[in-house]
Structure 1
Amino acid sequence: MSQTMTPARDQGPGEPRPEEPVEPGRLLSGAVVLESVRSSLVCSSDDTVDVRSPLTGEVWLSLPQSTPADVREAAARARAAQREWAARPLHERTRVARRLHALILDQAEDIADIIGMETGKARRSAIEEVSDVAMTALYYAKNAKRHLGPHRRKAGFPLLTHTVEQSVPKGLVGMITPWNYPLTIPVSDAIAALLAGNAVVIKPDTQTTLSALWGIELAVEAGLPRDLFLAVTGNPAEIGEALITESDYVAFTGSTATGTLVATECAKRLIGCSAELGGKNPMIVLPDAPLDRAANSIVQSAFSNAGQLCMSIERIYVHRDVFDDFLHRAMETINSLTLGVGLHYEFDVGSLISQEQLERVRAHLDDAVDRGATVHVGGNHRPDIGPYVFEPTLLTGVDESMALCREETFGPVIALYPVDSDAEAVARANDSDYGLNASVWGQVSRATPVAHQIEAGSVNINEGFTATWTSHDAPMGGFKRSGLGRRHGREGITRFTESRTVSTQRLMNIDRPETMSNRDFAKLMIRGLRLLRRLP
């Protein structure tokens, strides 16, 4: 089922397009899918949790729940496999990533079905996930050697000392991943960890476990040893401590509150962690911006995956000279969008994932409206389309008293704010506890210095988030409370390694010759250090 957007909050729905409402038969059932991918799941308990599909609101899967003992078993199996894997030449490991790239693309439509059933996202967003994993696999297959070395380093005593930096795998990487991108985040991060020589035990979100398991099975089909990449399920409060205890490094993606707890527990064990956390991402529209392009960009930058994206734009600061014009164009763009649920390509925006997420979005919107904000388009829950579908929504008049202004909404809601100068736009964009992503629109000569002042790990000029995200050779991560560490690029793979320095000394020891006094040796050292300034 799908429908076009309504032009205002108090108006009725648009005319539905004629198409089939939902196509669950293509997957048979969650139980059938689980049975086909269960080999990588370590679970001995009979306990299960019911999982509802956001397409229908009905239970489509009873998911087995792992215990702390299961986590320990998975860790032991993974560690045993890791020793042999790390001993393999890097070119053998990258060969697996190349095969995975091909398999993902060959099975793209099947994977998109599972992602759609688990998340309710529009199929175009599901295919974006598939594409991103394929890009990541190929990028690291081609560049792992360049990033992992060994790398020759400059020695303290040229000619006499030869120094090399080696990248040594951490061992066992524990991963805790969220529901919003259930293939991209688990598999893309795991690719880097595995190519670096590690084993991985992952705890995907309960809502979206099947997408992660499917990705693991594809990796095994590509040649990955069975026990090298395993999954556990369950409540993080019950198995999270065991996963951290068993791991040599933890990669977490999720909320800032939970990420802080994970980082604290890792610190107690003196192990490293990375954490990609929340965002309240700003977009700046300068007076010389290409307004049509900027307005059209919000389809991707704000409403991709129904706004359930850490990189998603939620705050838009528009120069007052073009504010009304941009508002009008943005409303036209949003009104042209088609909402729907199903496993086809015929709509632009899909569903929120759960009742809990729907209630969060509605609470932010209701609070803003009650305090005086104006809804210009959208603003309605659409149970006539799907149980958790919410219209893409645009507001003005949002101020500091409203939760929508400061807190991450994680839904299809944006607010426009007028500003009088570039400096004001930068100041307001930076006035946040978060610093994950930002977007600046304008002539490049004017937008570039503005972008250089934004406190965020990714800043896109004349794009929303896709330009930086798809630049896989560049690191991606957050400032401030948006996280620790980086994914993508060199940093995205070396975070899963320890650096080991090996130096070889030639001809003589770095010490005083027996025939020389301490005073003469000190003079020789100082003379030599002065000479170093003349060397290239």
Structure 2
Amino acid sequence: MSPSPSGSRTAADIVTPGLTELLARQVVGSGRTANHTPFTGERLAELPESTPEDVAEAFRRARLAQPAWAGTAPRVRAAVLLRFHDLLQERQDEILDLVQLETGKTRLHALEEVLGLISETRFYGRKAPGLLKDKRHPGAVPLLTRTTELRQPRGVVGQIAPWNYPLELSVGDALPAFVAGNAVVMKPDTETALTALWARRLLIEAGLPAEVFQVVLGEGPVVGPEVVRHADYVSFTGSTRTGREVAQGAAARLVGASLELGGKNAMLVLADADIDKAAEGAVRAAFASAGQLCISIERIYVHASVVEAFTERFVARTRAMRLGNVLAYGPDMGSLAGERQLHAVERHVDDAVAKGARILTGGRTRPDIGPYVYEPTVLDRVDASMAAHSDETFGPVVSLYPFTDEDDAIARINDSSFGLNSSVWTGDSSRGRALATRIRTGTVNINEGYASAYGSVAAPMGGMKDSGLGRRHGSEGLLKYTEAQTVSQQRLMPLGPAFGMTQEQYAKVTNRLLRAMKALRLG
């Protein structure tokens, strides 16, 4: 695992005092905080920090601005997204630099995030007006009852965004809320706030009213509950433990919430799989963004007949990965986000080895490349006594498990409290789809690790079991930010005895009508 050559540009070349000041002005905050770059561990920028009073002020501003925004036509709101789409493509290098500096990921993995947001923006920019359109439904009585379903915005959405995908999981989750007519108060992670603030600035340039999008910053235990306390709906991405607290806070106020939480995602390699392609796919699936991806693979179940060949190819490809912290294309894997994440990875690997697991490759920190770089690591002989077996590592560590019986392998994959993503590799696509329906995860990829399902933005994406509630992407990712409202108009006669009918006559007429409606297949 060789380091890539150092880049010539530095953080100071990109995050200038002028840029920091411009972005910092967008935060509702009266204190001071800072973020840091995983490339070196050094301070990247000083930013405002929000108090509970600042959060309340952000919601006040958003609530004042939201009705006028909701009053614009959906096609007008969607046009903002389409302009944002074009600006994202034109200014791609700017945001790639910021994402890399704030997360430590490679430029290729930063590009993957940007391209995902571009696809999502295009989908909602094109499809939202149709999805939000008023819908006629059969009325209680044909011709006499006119019933319409409307989609009303919820009001002000409170969003708590994570650090690992600071562009796509911040503004990407806010876009459907905006196009549905909501305002948003967002709390991005402080360590990746510049990315979210850059995206807010670009959205305003595309035509979004500034007051509709408020940003607050601060420690999660301080600012997070305040966001939940004021919101009309809550969007959260993060750990399962914190997600439970968010859900409880939202439930206490009887407001809705969508939660994408943790995962212990599995890959299933069948005997008829193309082993070379499966090994290459496993490298991408396990080590994208240094494994700090909610849907990355941490468990690989391989049929015993091909486990030796797969392991040889997978370990060789993992060992050949280029590691680096550079603002350029080239490295295959970058840094972990910080010291806490590095220590979590070290604990899982050390615990597994102490209890009898074997390191096939990796298992070391690389301070020669960066303070938080950890080699991509492959383990075997991992069992249920080890934290790496069942707990989410959220780092570049994957465990191999041989199997002989497919039913047993499916049972082992499903024997997890998590259910976010999974992957099946086989030469028989029909067989792969049949097995996919038996795996209890929100997304299942066949002959791909995660990108095919996540990149299909017209389809819903989210978790089962402890991996969350609700979905992002697709119609569900938009309509969750609305309240369904039924407006029904009765004409000519009421739904009750009329024109001198007795109650008995009304009952007979109504029952005849219902039988006729069934026979004519009405309603």
2:33 is the alignment partner of 1:40: no
Q: Where do residues 333-482 of structure 1 align in structure 2 (5 Å cutoff)?
A: 333-442=317-426, 443-482=428-467
Q: Distance in 2 between matches of 1:457 and 1:289?
A: 23
Q: Distance in 1 between matches of 2:230 and 2:4?
A: 52
Q: Distance in 1 between matches of 2:223 and 2:11?
A: 32
Deviation at 1:515, TM superposition (A): 1.7
Q: Distance in 2 between matches of 1:506 and 1:32?
A: 64
Whether the 8 Å CA contact 1:254–1:276 is kept in 2: the answer is yes
Tell me the SS of whatever aligns to 1:503. strand
2:7 is the alignment partner of 1:20: yes
Q: Distance in 2 between matches of 1:18 and 1:255?
A: 35
Q: Distance in 1 between matches of 2:436 and 2:252?
A: 37
Gaps of 5+ in 1: 6-13
2:279 is the alignment partner of 1:295: yes
2:471 is the alignment partner of 1:513: no
Q: In structure 1, which of residues 78, 82, 102 is the aligned counterpart of residue 86 of structure 2?
A: 102
Q: Which amino acid aligns with 1:20?
A: G
Q: Distance in 1 between matches of 2:308 and 2:275?
A: 11
Q: Distance in 2 between matches of 1:521 and 1:73?
A: 57
CA-atom RMSD, angstroms? 1.3
Deviation at 1:251, TM superposition (A): 0.3
Q: Distance in 2 between matches of 1:406 and 1:319?
A: 20
Taking structure 1 as reference, are residues 323 and 215 closer, same or farther at Cα in structure 2, changes over 3 Å only?
same
Q: Which amino acid aligns with 2:319?
A: N
Q: Distance in 1 between matches of 2:231 and 2:76?
A: 25
Q: Distance in 1 between matches of 2:518 and 2:435?
A: 39
Whether the 8 Å CA contact 1:67–1:239 is kept in 2: the answer is yes
Q: Distance in 2 between matches of 1:20 and 1:210?
A: 21
2:261 is the alignment partner of 1:277: yes
2:517 is the alignment partner of 1:532: yes
- Deviation digits for residues 174-214 of structure 1 (CA, Å, limit 9, x no counterpart): 00011000010111111100000000000000110110000
Tell me the SS of whatever aligns to 2:323. strand
TM superposition score normalised by structure 2:
0.97
Taking structure 1 as reference, are residues 441 and 237 closer, same or farther at Cα in structure 2, changes over 3 Å only?
same
Counterpart in the other structure of 2:50: 66
Counterpart in the other structure of 2:132: 148
Q: Distance in 1 between matches of 2:56 and 2:191?
A: 23
Q: Count the aligned residue pairs.
A: 520
Whether the 8 Å CA contact 1:182–1:211 is kept in 2: the answer is yes
Deviation at 1:420, TM superposition (A): 1.1
Deviation at 1:435, TM superposition (A): 0.3
Q: Distance in 1 between matches of 2:339 and 2:142?
A: 65
Tell me the SS of whatever aligns to 2:382. coil
Counterpart in the other structure of 2:219: 235
Counterpart in the other structure of 1:492: 477
Q: Distance in 1 between matches of 2:256 and 2:98?
A: 33
Q: Where do residues 38-187 of structure 1 align in structure 2 (5 Å cutoff)?
A: 38-45=24-31, 48-187=32-171
TM superposition score normalised by structure 1:
0.95
Q: Distance in 1 between matches of 2:366 and 2:62?
A: 45
The percent of aligned pairs where both chains have the same amino acid is 47
Deviation at 1:51, TM superposition (A): 2.5
Q: Distance in 2 between matches of 1:17 and 1:118?
A: 19
Whether the 8 Å CA contact 1:40–1:229 is kept in 2: the answer is no
Gaps of 5+ in 2: none
Q: Which amino acid aligns with 1:44?
A: S
